[in-house]
Structure 1
Amino acid sequence: MIGALIYAVAINYFLIPNRIGEGGVTGLTALGYYTFSIPPALTNVVLNGILILIGFKFLKRETGFYTLWAILWISLFLRIPVFFPYHTDQTVIAAISGGVLMGIAMGLIFRAKGTIAGSTILAKIINRYYGIRNGSAMLFFDLTVAIPSGLIIGFQNMLLTVLELYISAVVLNKYLEAFGAKRSVLVFSTQNQAIGEALTSNLGQGVTMLKATGFYHQQDTDVLFYVCSNQDWTVVMPIIMSIDPKALVVTDQIRSVRGMQLSNL
């Protein structure tokens, strides 16, 4: 609901008052408003209803229901009268502000296991089956609507729309990476047993011990494998270094973890 509110504010207060378009279904709602004065809330419900049916087929039912919930609230918030629309001659400010708000709004909704339908449903499907980041996939689909919109809103506003879409995609990717991505950790140490016990007791999460063989000396050794959130990462390194300051630690950013729960590793 908070994400839906921020999304509606971005449209009603920053984009529409400055005649800036959008991508996907939202872009079509803006074009319908500019051209035929069709209420954005009506277009939003009709077009997104079709895409939600597609989402139910390719995504989890939970995602479909949360998407429907988000769309209903976005449509409701779009109907609230606009009291202080942001009009400015420096329309790039409106494009940047709208893009940041859009990215934050979609990040909140994505983190709550929903989408805003439109291109975000297509982006979710692409992310699920091909691993492409949500923001990047969404940007691709949005541009297919935003670029032709220049025929209606003008070339300058089309460029501003592309800028807004790019900013929202970057903010969305960064938001999901900060709050949803994981880190994988490989630890090479003679104290791996103690490090594993410390990580488990402090973070309440399972650790995996792998068998490895050093190529040069042909010696068998244990390698500790651990997956953690970015928030926990700030605690993981101090724990490892406090037990073995000479430990070799290799980390990598991973976008998602599926399957067995981490606590069962």
Structure 2
Amino acid sequence: MHRKIPLSVQVRRFVFIFFGAVLVSIGLELFLVPNNIIDGGIIGISIILSYITNIPIGTFTFFLNLPFLIVGYKQIGKSFALYTLFGVAILSLTVNLLHGLPTVTKEPILATVFGGIILGVGVGLIIRNGGSLDGTEIVAILFNKKFPFSVGEVVMFFNIFILGSAGFVFGWDRAMYSLITYFIAFKMIDLTIEGFEESKAVWIISDKSGEIGETLLARLGRGVTYLHGEGGYSGEGKKVLFTVITRLELAKLKSIVEDIDPNAFLAIGNIHETKGGQFKKKAIH
């Protein structure tokens, strides 16, 4: 039985998807499209077809996405389909409304960078809140179930074909600008989804784990968890200390461990999200 999503959460998601779609429209119509620079996926196809036929981009974006939503409805779920349909509808409408407004810059490299940033943040907001703007991702999910290709590989294949097509339509310099835009947008999507405050998970194996744990609590204000392990070679019991810190605290943690036990083993990994527990810093008096 699926847990019903609270109304307040659903409203918040629709609001963020709305703003995300508006941002994508701004990135397209005020930066990229006037400079003949495209993005990947259905949006890129829509820009090319609009240029050839003079039919508005929003019209292509909406109707090209519809078949993928219908085909993938059972695969992706009702909520995802609804959020995606809403995002695509807002994008299609706002792109058409903004069409014809003066471009912010006619300098291709500025349009590429800032258009890619705005586009990536917009798409990231939509994905973070359970939707999508690109039917090729749905196709990739369906392909992944039947063929030995990952979702990322299928999406990349589509985008190489689409960005390559831009070279024949707009010229190869614009295709290269488009590739840069795609890369910038891809990075901004990750940054928007994962957040700016990347945390670090740290595992410490030391004969002085207790002293290290007390010092981390006293000097960093971070709680620690002790895990019980066993050396694979020696068979000896080992106490493994686990904690989560911010990126800025990593150097201080290393210094603390080095001072107490220079032979301690440290394993450090990136964490993009933490929830629950006692991750908040404890007050140090």
TM-score when normalising by structure 2: 0.69
1:13 Cα deviation from its structure 2 partner: 0.7
Distance 1:124 1:207 in 2: 38
Distance 1:141 1:22 in 2: 12
| 1:93 maps to 2:93 | no
- Provide the secondary structure at the position in 2 that maps to 1:95: helix
Listed one character per residue, the Cα deviations across residues 176-211 of structure 1 (whole Å, up to 9, x for unaligned) are 444597644312244459949969xx789x957232
Residues 133 and 48 of structure 1, relative CA distance in 2, 3 Å threshold? closer
Residues 126 and 13 of structure 1, relative CA distance in 2, 3 Å threshold? farther
Paired position in structure 1 for 2:202:
185
Which residue among 212, 216, 221 is the counterpart of 2:230?
212
| 1:59 maps to 2:73 | no
Q: CA RMSD in A?
A: 4.1
Which runs of at least 4 in structure 1 moved beyond 6 Å after TM superposition? 123-134, 235-244
Aligned residue runs from structure 1 range 104-183, under 5 A: 104-121=121-138, 138-178=155-195, 183=200
Distance 1:65 1:237 in 2: 45
Which residue among 246, 251, 260 is the counterpart of 1:246?
260
Which residue among 212, 222, 226 is the counterpart of 2:239?
222
Which residue among 37, 43, 46 is the counterpart of 2:54?
37
1:93 Cα deviation from its structure 2 partner: 1.9
Structure 2 unaligned residues grouped into runs of 5+: 1-17, 278-285
Distance 1:194 1:87 in 2: 55
Any conservation in 2 of the 1:18–1:94 contact (CA below 8 Å)? yes
1:36 Cα deviation from its structure 2 partner: 0.6
Listed one character per residue, the Cα deviations across residues 81-126 of structure 1 (whole Å, up to 9, x for unaligned) are 35332351x3222122211212211222222122112334456779
- Provide the secondary structure at the position in 2 that maps to 1:115: coil
Any conservation in 2 of the 1:214–1:221 contact (CA below 8 Å)? no
Any conservation in 1 of the 2:19–2:122 contact (CA below 8 Å)? yes
- Aligned residues: percent identity? 20
Distance 1:36 1:164 in 2: 24
Which residue among 62, 67, 84 is the counterpart of 1:50?
67
Any conservation in 1 of the 2:198–2:247 contact (CA below 8 Å)? no
1:149 Cα deviation from its structure 2 partner: 2.5
- Provide the secondary structure at the position in 2 that maps to 1:147: helix
Residues 224 and 24 of structure 1, relative CA distance in 2, 3 Å threshold? same
Distance 2:139 2:199 in 1: 23
1:63 Cα deviation from its structure 2 partner: 2.6
Residues 21 and 194 of structure 1, relative CA distance in 2, 3 Å threshold? closer
Write the letter of the residue equivalent to 1:211: G
Any conservation in 2 of the 1:211–1:223 contact (CA below 8 Å)? yes
Asked which structure has the greater CA Rg, the reply is 2
| 1:84 maps to 2:98 | no
Any conservation in 2 of the 1:15–1:98 contact (CA below 8 Å)? yes
TM-score when normalising by structure 1: 0.73
Write the letter of the residue equivalent to 1:161: S
Residues 100 and 242 of structure 1, relative CA distance in 2, 3 Å threshold? same
- Provide the secondary structure at the position in 2 that maps to 1:83: coil
- Provide the secondary structure at the position in 1 that maps to 2:260: coil
- Provide the secondary structure at the position in 2 that maps to 1:253: strand
